[in-house]
Structure 1
């Protein structure tokens, strides 16, 4: 991975600078909203594990449209639902609180 200095020498913008320029500094409302959307998007991408939305919805006990909204970053996920989804995928999830 290139350092910020190396990126700037190649006339590239470091990703953190790009995000700050477009979504504000860490801790601002705009940045928090952006980061929350990113987290939801990442979870959605991880859900795409060779299973159709219908199959996952059936395993989790929800509707295909809800799985679609999660995958597209348009739905907030309750912790209990997140656990059910990963259980439906045959995976485990854990959290560390620091």
Structure 2
């Protein structure tokens, strides 16, 4: 069984699906970070050097470990040639 098949099977479980859906925003952020760095043609070491930090900090950020500040996200994006944009979405739980 490959990962895709494993994931599909696991998501059939309602409790797993609920937890997975709850983490979707975090997964999306991680994907965007990796996409920015890849499109910039940078390795983790390259990016760490540009940001004046250690490769392990970049790795931790890209694995979703930690709680990056807005400044950290902005610096990461800028070093890759991108900018961070905050977008509001309407949530049915908050609309009257």
| TM-score, structure 2 normalization | 0.60
* Structure 1 match to 2:5: none
Q: Which runs of 4+ in 1 moved over 3 A?
A: none
Q: Distance in 2 between matches of 1:80 and 1:73?
A: 16
Asked if the contact 1:41–1:73 (Cα under 8 Å) also holds between the matched residues in 2, the reply is: yes
Higher relative contact order (CA 8 A, sep 6+): 2
* Structure 2 match to 1:92: 83
CA-based RMSD of the aligned residues comes to 2.5
Asked if the contact 1:69–1:75 (Cα under 8 Å) also holds between the matched residues in 2, the reply is: yes
* Structure 2 match to 1:65: 56
Q: Distance in 1 between matches of 2:44 and 2:83?
A: 19
1:32-73 superposed Cα distances (whole Å, 9 cap, x missing partner) = 3x2244134313422333211111012122211010112223
Q: Which runs of 5+ in 2 are unaligned?
A: 1-7, 90-96
State how many pairs are aligned.
76
* Structure 2 match to 1:41: 30
Q: Distance in 2 between matches of 1:75 and 1:40?
A: 13
Q: Which runs of 5+ in 1 are unaligned?
A: 1-14, 25-29
